[in-house]
């Protein structure tokens, strides 16, 4: 299977550089794997990503999903001619997490000229599904 990415070879450090001075960096998101048609990133469950009851905040899961999906779209578009912006996100939180690291895997459902739709599944360290998300990204022409 050929890769869906614009560049043939992408280093993880390039992806992690995209998080500098962003919400992704504040949340501790790290890209850990890139495949032909998927990305994987992790996020620690800490005081920064928890809600007041001590569990992973649903908004932190949504931010992880939007970060990984947006970066995936950025790896497909032509950055000289296009921008990609989150258009819609849905997140179903199916299991609570109090500690550890969560891992998101992002795969395409649709890669079109004006929209990309990503399936993002977030799991705990026991590989149990904690959140399933769908992100739609708008592909916009630069002016």
66 is catalytic: yes
Per-residue tokens: 134: 């769908």
- Indicate the pLDDT class of residue 71, thresholds 50, 70 and 90: very high
Q: Which helix (H) or strand (E) holds 122?
A: strand 115-123
**How does 27-62 read in b/e, with b if 16+ C-beta sit within 10 Å?**
bbbbbeebeeebbbbbbbbeeebbeeeebbbeebbb
**Mean pLDDT across the chain:** 96
Given 17, 66, 88, 107, the catalytic residue: 66
Domain boundaries, the chain: 12-141
Using the predicted structure, report yes or no on whether residue 1 has a pLDDT greater than 70: no
- Cβ atoms of 28 and 44 within 8 Å: the answer is yes
- Indicate the pLDDT class of residue 124, thresholds 50, 70 and 90: very high
Across residues 102-107, what is the average pLDDT?
Answer: 98
- Cβ atoms of 20 and 30 within 8 Å: the answer is no
- Indicate the pLDDT class of residue 143, thresholds 50, 70 and 90: confident
- Identify the architecture of domain 12-141 in CATH: Roll (3.10)
């Amino acid at each position: 299977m050929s890769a869906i990415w614009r560049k043939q070879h992408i280093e993880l450090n390039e992806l992690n550089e995209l998080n500098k001075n962003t919400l992704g960096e504040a949340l501790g998101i790290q890209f850990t794997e890139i495949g032909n048609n998927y990305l994987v990133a992790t996020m620690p469950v800490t005081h920064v990503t928890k809600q007041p009851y001590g569990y992973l905040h649903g908004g932190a899961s949504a931010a992880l999903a939007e970060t990984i999906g947006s970066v995936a779209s950025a790896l497909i578009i032509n950055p000289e001619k296009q921008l990609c912006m989150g258009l819609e996100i849905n997140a179903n939180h199916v299991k609570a997490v109090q500690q550890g690291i969560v891992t998101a895997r992002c795969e395409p459902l649709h890669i079109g000229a004006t929209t990309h739709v990503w399936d993002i599944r977030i799991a705990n360290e026991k590989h149990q599904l904690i959140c399933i998300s769908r992100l739609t990204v708008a592909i916009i022409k630069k002016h």
